[in-house]
Amino acid sequence: MTKITIRPVTPDDLDAVTSVEATCFPAAEAATYESFRQRIAAFPESFFVAVCDETIIGFINGCVTNERTIRDEMFEDSSLHTPDGKYQSIFGLDVLPEYRCQGIAADLMNHLIDDARKKGRKGLILTCKDRLIHYYEKFGYRNLGVSASVHGGAVWYDMLLEFEEAAQ
């Protein structure tokens, strides 16, 4: 397998992450070029890309918040990012289809989990479709039930991972 590196996003990555997102998500759910531009400007410290042979093949990103669940407004309004917040959210975990089933998504997830822990967060939050609940549970996330999110017209589930030291 080719070596994959994970690094922080840069403004030069905007076109590539937008392209990866368009490949990985239906148009109704995919973040736009403008949304990614705002995210990269607002929270580059919470946005990591997976690179193979100088090509971005995946990424993980999300704002930091004091809320324990994601609201739809967070996806489009980067001003809701709270740099010293308690929870790292995950808006998207994308890996191009030809690179899936190689552990890259898990590497990205573990990278962000480790980063959140080092920064003193209480945990991480995300929303996912029912078919992915079991995947995120492998990382320690708990299913909190159906989310209030109606992003892209889909049914989402709130997932919460709280670090043990924070949960006590």
Tell me the C-alpha distance between 141 and 125, whole Å.
Answer: 8
Listed in sequence order, the residues at least 6 apart from 15 whose beta carbon sits closer than 8 Å to its beta carbon are 33
Fold of 4-167: Aminopeptidase (3.40.630)
More confident residue, 5 or 28: 5
pTM beyond cutoff 0.85: yes
Going by pLDDT thresholds of 50, 70 and 90, the confidence category of residue 76 is confident
Pair 159, 147: CB distance under 8 Å? no
Helix, strand or coil, per DSSP, at residue 1 = coil
**Confidence check: pLDDT of 168 > 60:** no
Pair 91, 62: CB distance under 8 Å? yes
Listed in sequence order, the residues at least 6 apart from 116 whose beta carbon sits closer than 8 Å to its beta carbon are 88, 123, 124
**Confidence check: pLDDT of 47 > 50:** yes
Pair 112, 63: CB distance under 8 Å? no
Pair 142, 136: CB distance under 8 Å? no
Model pLDDT, residue 73: 84
Going by pLDDT thresholds of 50, 70 and 90, the confidence category of residue 167 is very low
Determine how β-strand 47-52 pairs with β-strand 55-61. antiparallel
Going by pLDDT thresholds of 50, 70 and 90, the confidence category of residue 165 is low
Query: Longest Cα pair distance anywhere in the chain, in angstroms?
Result: 43
**Confidence check: pLDDT of 150 > 90:** no
Domain ranges of the chain: 4-167
